[in-house]
Amino acid sequence: MLAIEPRRQPSRAWSLLSPAIAIALTLCVGALLFGLAGRDPGHALYVLFIQPLTSTYGLTELLVKATPLILIATGLAIGFRANVWNIGAEGQYTVGALAGGGLALAFHDSTSPLLLPAVLLAGCAGGMAWGAIPALLRTRFNVNEILSSLMLTYVAILLLSWLVHGPWRDPDGYNFPESRLLSDAATLPILVDDTRLHAGLLFALLAVAGAWVLMGRSVVGFQLRVSGQSRIAAHYAGYSTTGLVWFALLLSGGLAGLAGISEVSGTINQLLPTISPGYGFTAIIVAFLGRLHPLGIIPAGLLIALSYIGGELAQIEVGVPAAVTGIFQGVLLFFLLGCDLLTGYRIRLAPVRGT
């Protein structure tokens, strides 16, 4: 009979190496799946993970895809380290895009230089407002934030669909479900000419730097870490666990909202029924792959963004379905969680009772 018992002292080296082990195992499984599908595994993996890095456009697209992942994952990691499980970042991302995009549409004739900052602030506020709902439900009614934040995601997506099919639909858009294009005054500047790389990347880098300072150099960060390790210890130390829950959910919601409006203002330039390929959910993988550390989230975000771009190329050149991206991300999360489990626990043979 197999039994699982905690290790006396989990290995720090193995903990740091587990993401690399999970990536290597994921590549092995990917090669096996490509082989079973009748594709050349070497060529398929090259198209997925190497070819996007061979051109300037591919590199800039990598950064475009990584920007929302890094922004959202940074906020989620702070909450996860405080034992606050915000699973609804996709909804906060969507509401942030709606709040900022709605303001931009309301003033689509404006050329004021203040419009863009107002749009970005509205996006942050929208995400924070959506994150405040599970915060209120948890602190006031003890509702699990995993369920409440997740369910609110579908409310946000349906709200977006209703608006672009109805009140916010472009009157000159030939009845397509999309809003009018955002004005130049509400659009993020492009960092590299002839690409889609926009200033949202700078927000992501600033968020990572701010999170690093917060978690490693501030009293609030220390309180968040203590609360995550032992809520009882945080209570006896005099920390407001209620305040920490609010802080974590508002911060993660605000960063998700900023990611949403940055994607709309910098990449899409209008509201569509689908404005995300699942960034809010994929950012959970990014946060854990980065070991819940701000600096680790950057390479993790780049790797997952590479899977998006490589997956699109693989559809064209290798002839695999679009689901290949989700498969790789799911397998990676599976192996990552498995490696983390074996880092803290060990499996041993135990005698069967009664024998």
Distance, in Å, from the CA atom of 293 to the CA atom of 301, rounded to the nearest integer, reads: 12
> What tokens were used for 149?
């934040």
Q: Is the pLDDT of residue 2 over 70?
A: no
Cα 252 to the chain's mean position, in Å?
A: 10
In this prediction, residue 231 has a pLDDT band, given cuts at 50, 70 and 90, of confident
Q: Is the pLDDT of residue 105 over 90?
A: yes
Residue 187 falls within a domain, yes or no?
A: yes
3-state secondary structure of 347: strand
Distance, in Å, from the CA atom of 263 to the CA atom of 269, rounded to the nearest integer, reads: 8
Residue 321 falls within a domain, yes or no?
A: no
Res 38: pLDDT = 93
Which of 72, 119, 101, 200 is closest to 159 using CA atoms? 101
Q: Could you give the C-alpha distances from 193 to 44, 203, 233, in angstroms and in order? A: 30, 19, 53
Q: For 160-182, write each residue's pLDDT tens digit.
A: 999 999 999 998 888 899 999 99
Residue 47 falls within a domain, yes or no?
A: no
Residue 74 falls within a domain, yes or no?
A: yes
Q: Please give the average per-residue pLDDT across 124-129, as a whole number.
A: 98
Residue 204 falls within a domain, yes or no?
A: yes
Res 15: pLDDT = 81
Task: Find the range with the poorest average confidence among 8-22, 111-125, 226-240, 326-340.
Answer: 8-22
> What tokens were used for 155?
């409310």
Res 5: pLDDT = 79
Q: Please give the average per-residue pLDDT across 189-207, as a whole number.
A: 96
Task: State the CB neighbour count (10 A cutoff) for residue 244.
Answer: 23
Q: Is the pLDDT of residue 353 over 90?
A: no
Res 1: pLDDT = 64
Residue 224 falls within a domain, yes or no?
A: yes
Distance, in Å, from the CA atom of 147 to the CA atom of 156, rounded to the nearest integer, reads: 15
Give the number of residues written for the chain: 355
Domain range for 107: 62-290
Distance, in Å, from the CA atom of 63 to the CA atom of 328, rounded to the nearest integer, reads: 19
Buried/exposed code over 67-100 (b: 16+ C-beta within 10 A; e: otherwise): bbbbbbbbbbbbbbbbbbbbbbbbbbbbbbbbbb
Surface-to-core class of residue 355, CB atoms within 10 Å of its CB (0-12 exposed, 13-18 middle, 19+ buried): exposed
Q: How much is the mean pLDDT over the chain?
A: 93
Residue 299 falls within a domain, yes or no?
A: no
Res 352: pLDDT = 65
| Spatial contact of 276 and 93, defined as CB atoms under 8 Å apart | yes
Distance, in Å, from the CA atom of 250 to the CA atom of 90, rounded to the nearest integer, reads: 14
> What tokens were used for 275?
């404005």
Residue 11 falls within a domain, yes or no?
A: no
- Domain count for the chain: 1
Distance, in Å, from the CA atom of 135 to the CA atom of 253, rounded to the nearest integer, reads: 10
Task: Find the range with the poorest average confidence among 181-185, 308-312, 333-337, 340-344.
Answer: 340-344
Q: Is the pLDDT of residue 219 over 80?
A: yes
Distance, in Å, from the CA atom of 249 to the CA atom of 224, rounded to the nearest integer, reads: 12
Rounded to two decimals, the pTM is 0.95
Task: State the CB neighbour count (10 A cutoff) for residue 125.
Answer: 20
